[in-house]
Amino acid sequence: MSEPLLQAVDLQCERDDRELFRALNFTIAAGTLTRVEGPNGSGKTTLLRILAGLNDSFSGRLLWQGEPRDARREEFLRNLLYIGHRPGIKPLLTPIENLRGLLAGRQQVADTVLRQALEGTGLAGYQDVPCRNLSAGQQRRVALARLLISDEPLWILDEAFTALDFHGVEGLERLLVERAANGGAVVVTTHHDLRLPDIHRIVLGATAVAGDHGATCQQAGEAHAH
């Protein structure tokens, strides 16, 4: 059996003298879709930022393909696509200019491909309109267009469904399922009620039951943090 892409061992994090989670253990394997769940303030965004290498205020270990992540940090970052809660869109730039900037230093992609990706997220005809003139949902679609041309094996998406309409939600759900089916790994937080097959769960702020403490996330299973 191959090593998981990412493995968390005994993660613990505090914020403002309050423990967000402790003894958190799970694996993120290729071909899986994992949802991080929990009430507001339970540390979902914090956990995703820790996994993405954007927050080092934690204890425990993170392994990338079986080795300490920090020892292979550059390789890890090359293989990661992170989209945060805010879409990271510059309002004065057009969607194609924003997408070109988001990919700078990572992928060389022709403008025709960028336009096709924007069309694929429902932005046909808006590629050259300043983003300040777009709705919040359309700006979110600009950021999500990266998913249509991404070659990174690990996606970490924080509230990716925010501001999307019904059709946008359906399209993103299909994309995540296809990504996992093609061997990619997706970690996502969302307030949207995902109804996807074989989804894994990491539950923060959960009440412990016997044997749950520090459990490893399994197929259609849960890892609880208290």
Q: Is 91:131 a contact under the CB 8 Å cutoff?
A: yes
Q: Bridge-partner residues for 81, per DSSP?
A: 155
At the fourth CATH level, which superfamily is domain 1-79+154-226?
A: P-loop containing nucleotide triphosphate hydrolases (3.40.50.300)
**Residue ranges per structural domain of the chain:** 1-79+154-226, 88-151
pLDDT for the residue numbered 206: 63
Q: Which amino acid is at 125?
A: G
Distance CA 210, CA 198 (A): 24
- 63 forms beta bridges with 7, 68
User: 121: closest CA among 167, 77, 55?
Assistant: 167
Q: 2-6, 8-12, 141-145 — which is least confidently predicted?
A: 2-6
Name beta bridge partners: 62: 8
Chain segment 150-188, per-residue pLDDT in tens = 989 999 999 999 989 989 999 999 999 999 999 999 999
pTM above 0.85, yes or no: yes
Q: What is the pLDDT of residue 208?
A: 38
pLDDT higher than threshold 60 for residue 209: no
